[in-house]
Chains A and B, each alone.
Chain A
Amino acid sequence: MTNRSVSAAARLAACLLALVCLLSLPALPGARAFAESPEEPAAPVDLTAGGCGLTVYPVSSYADFAEDLRDNAAITVDVYKVAEAAAIPGVDAYGYRFIPPFDDASVTTAAAAGMTLADGVNVPNAALSAAKWDELAQAAAAVVKNSTAEPAKLSAVKAKGAESVRVPASGTMDKGLYLVLAHTEETDYWDEEAAGGALTTKVESSGNKYRYLPLLVTLPHKSETLGNYRYDDDGPIVPDEPVTSAAEGAWIYDLTLYLKPESENRKADLIIKKTLRNYHVNSKALFVFRVDAAMPDAPDTSVYSAVFSVSLAADGSKATIARNIPIGAEVTVEETYFGASCKPSPGTKTIYSGLMTENGLVIGTEPPVKIVEFFNEGDGTNGGGGIENSFEYKEGEHWVIIAQNQDPGVDESELVSPGTP
């Protein structure tokens, strides 16, 4: 058999493969994103240079945190070309040729799990699942992360207050397979703490942390009809059935992507320290502290409300800790009760208010503090004491007493980590 006949056979195999195995479009892995675009007259796929574009929404307006991401985060969208579109003769479909540095074995191996290589072209199998696309996206993202020289990319920044960003910022982009990564310039690119070990990129706004899974999108795209998209409480979701090149409808060269980040509220702890002086009563003194917090844009909506106590029987110091206060919240810590025979020390604070940050409570223009201190001294001879009852809501819908402490509070050293300011 001649080389020409081998090549012809390969092309024929590719054609048959493409006919039998409908080309699943990679822009729709699971429900993380979907594409929509005006329907165009049906025409064979055009794989000539240029002609494509993306409008990327970092979050659907239906998401609970959409407003936060829109108004408080400037999000950079990086788009890396992973593979160029390669025609499959005789078929209205296309495959991929991976380009450097994405022609790395890690990527082609991941691709081989869901594509068939024919005549140098990777043709997606019909059964190529969203999970396989995810694996391929992870492999491509790892190439970006591990490259000593960053691969060429198209970048655009969604400004604070804007809902979407256009890629490329001007002109058009070629047909092919692209990796889409969203992040913020102020934070680390990758989220090393991502659950499950998956590579994710990170976006942080004033009060929240978001993770984006790397997303592969193919251009051009093919959709059946826009009416196939269903809506639920979370907004538009992708059709249950994958969109294939065998479906009716036109090739779409300009896509709108709605990314779907995961939200993770960031929280921090605050230590409350009590120091008692000149106390001569033969009885315990109980001190009670209230911690309340609300986000600056919704001051009337509580995001944290708790009460804590410390008891002392003599001069000295003890501390307690308010855990999991939302970062970005305006926090007030108030000593609401100071024993039967104590008073605040002259010139000391009985209330602190500030902005919770990951480095501590920022009060005015002062550096953040992880400890707020209250000082009292003996004043009177009444006896007293008390008990702190702690409850936790358990699976199965009931509250359980988890601690009952008549001597609440511990030595500060048990709460403070090395280096705490």
Chain B
Amino acid sequence: MKRNTAILLLLAAALVLGLTIGASGAYFTANDAAKGGYVLRIGHTPPIGEKFEDHKEVVITNEPDAATVFVRVKAFAAAKYQDKLGYTGSNWKKGLSGDFYYYYMLPLEGGTATDALHVSVSEVLPAGAEPGEKSNVIIAYESTPAIFTADGKPDFRTAWGADAPAAE
């Protein structure tokens, strides 16, 4: 029987339309997770939210009463800019393989949300571009059922594989 581990995530990308990114120090910014009608319901999964202001703020929210999950996020820019994406956020850690995954280092229980992961694109959207030039930044997220060790610690490496940092 197939495990129903498509754990029910909801992406609430509260994105500020028409946001102006400055010529320098450009960041995405977020409002709140449920604002703006970007809620994406996937089955009966909990929500995931993204916000923008002057930096991109990725917040993943698990729906109430859903099972506890682990989550990870990966951002994509054009190849020549991929290494220039910047990430900061409490309880987020970079994967070990250099594959650009960022792992949320706490189990995400139903009805709770991650701390924000700030994704800087200041060098992905460079100043001095040609008017009309376009660029995409893509955020992918994944969730998997939470697994715990015998002593009750989250076992990220068993759940995700060797790229995941070990729990502290």
Contacts and interface: CB of A to CB of B under 8 A. Distances in A.
A339 B38 CA distance: 20
Contacts of A381: 2-6
A391 B135 contact: yes
Interface of A: 280-284, 286, 288, 290, 292, 302, 305-309, 313, 336-337, 339-341, 381-395, 397-402, 404, 406-408
B139 interface: yes
A386 B58 CA distance: 11
A262 B15 CA distance: 42
16 contacts: A283-B45, A284-B40, A288-B138, A309-B76, A382-B5, A382-B144, A383-B143, A385-B48, A386-B11, A386-B139, A388-B138, A389-B56, A392-B134, A393-B129, A399-B125, A401-B18
Contact of B20 (A284, A388, A399, A404): A399
Interface residues of B, number: 57
B143 A384 contact: yes
Given A340-B144, A383-B45, A398-B21, 15 more contacts: A280-B2, A292-B79, A306-B134, A306-B136, A340-B143, A383-B9, A385-B42, A388-B138, A389-B137, A397-B128, A399-B21, A399-B129, A400-B20, A404-B13, A404-B38
B7 interface: yes
Contacts of A340: 140, 142-144
A348 to B, nearest CB: 21
A281 B20 CA distance: 37
A341 to B, nearest CB: 8
A43 B42 CA distance: 90
B130 A282 contact: no
A383 B134 contact: no
Contacts of B140: 286, 288, 337, 339-340, 384-386
A344 B161 CA distance: 19
A341 B42 CA distance: 15
B22 interface: yes
Contact of B136 (A280, A282, A382, A391): A391
Contacts of A390: 134-136
A387 B20 contact: no
Nearest to A336: B76
